[in-house]
Amino acid sequence: MNIKKVVVGFLEENCYIVEKNNECIIIDPGDDPNKIVNNITLKPIAILITHRHFDHIGALEYISNKYNIPIYEYSNLKEGNLGIGKFNIEVIYTPGHTDDSVTYYFKDDQIMFTGDFLFKGSIGRTDLETGNMKKMQKSISKIKKYYDIIKVYPGHNDNTTIGYEKVCNIYFKEEL
């Protein structure tokens, strides 16, 4: 599997293009649709949305219409396994930043896409719209159970691992 990170928009949101077996999935097409399209070299088969904040969906309609591919998000997904093409994905509800926050765990490759739920050394804000710290704490407890080696690709800034967050992220150390 190959992952391309395309930083888009004035909030520098991370859009990801996940490639495998001549197909790709686009995660959070936030802005700059032409920049995203220019990085797509394989056949797009789906779009995954981690949550519906404007900086994560600004180019969604354009990309969806251009490739005529389905959009997967909280409103049309259930927690559990999801197969898209050759991609084996676990859908994990991770509310806290927003009520519709979803984390996508690509099991075969030990990779997670967390949107604004989890950042390197931090978490997404819980004081906006439907944010909620109690829900965030429950989501963190859920994610703490995953393997330390899992690579985490957040909605902004640098990548991390579950293991790094267990050691360095203050929110992972708080008792619930």
User: Residue ranges per domain, the chain?
Assistant: 2-173
Per-residue pLDDT tens digits for 110-132: 999 999 999 999 999 999 888 99
Residue 129 pLDDT:
82
- Residue range 89-112: mean pLDDT, rounded: 97
In which order are the strands placed within the sheet that holds 2-8?
Answer: 2-8, 13-20, 23-27, 43-48, 71-72
User: How many Å apart are CA 115 and CA 132, to the nearest integer?
Assistant: 16
Q: What is the mean pLDDT of the chain?
A: 96
Class of residue 149 by CB neighbours under 10 A (exposed 0-12, middle 13-18, buried 19+) = exposed
Percentage of the residues of the chain whose pLDDT score is greater than 70: 98
CA 120 to chain centroid: 13
3-state helix, strand, coil in the chain (%, to 5): 25, 35, 40
Return the number of other C-beta atoms located less than 10 Å from residue 174's C-beta. Answer: 9
User: How many Å apart are CA 62 and CA 65, to the nearest integer?
Assistant: 5
- Residue range 29-47: mean pLDDT, rounded: 98
User: How many Å apart are CA 35 and CA 11, to the nearest integer?
Assistant: 15
Per-residue pLDDT tens digits for 126-163: 998 889 999 999 999 999 999 999 999 999 999 999 99
Domain 2-173 is classified in which CATH homologous superfamily?
A: Ribonuclease Z/Hydroxyacylglutathione hydrolase-like (3.60.15.10)
Distance between first and last Cα of the chain: 36
Total-model pTM: 0.96
Residue 173 pLDDT:
83
Percentage of the residues of the chain whose pLDDT score is greater than 90: 95
Whether pLDDT at 36 is above 60:
yes
Place of tokens 């005529």: 68
Return the number of other C-beta atoms located less than 10 Å from residue 75's C-beta. Answer: 10
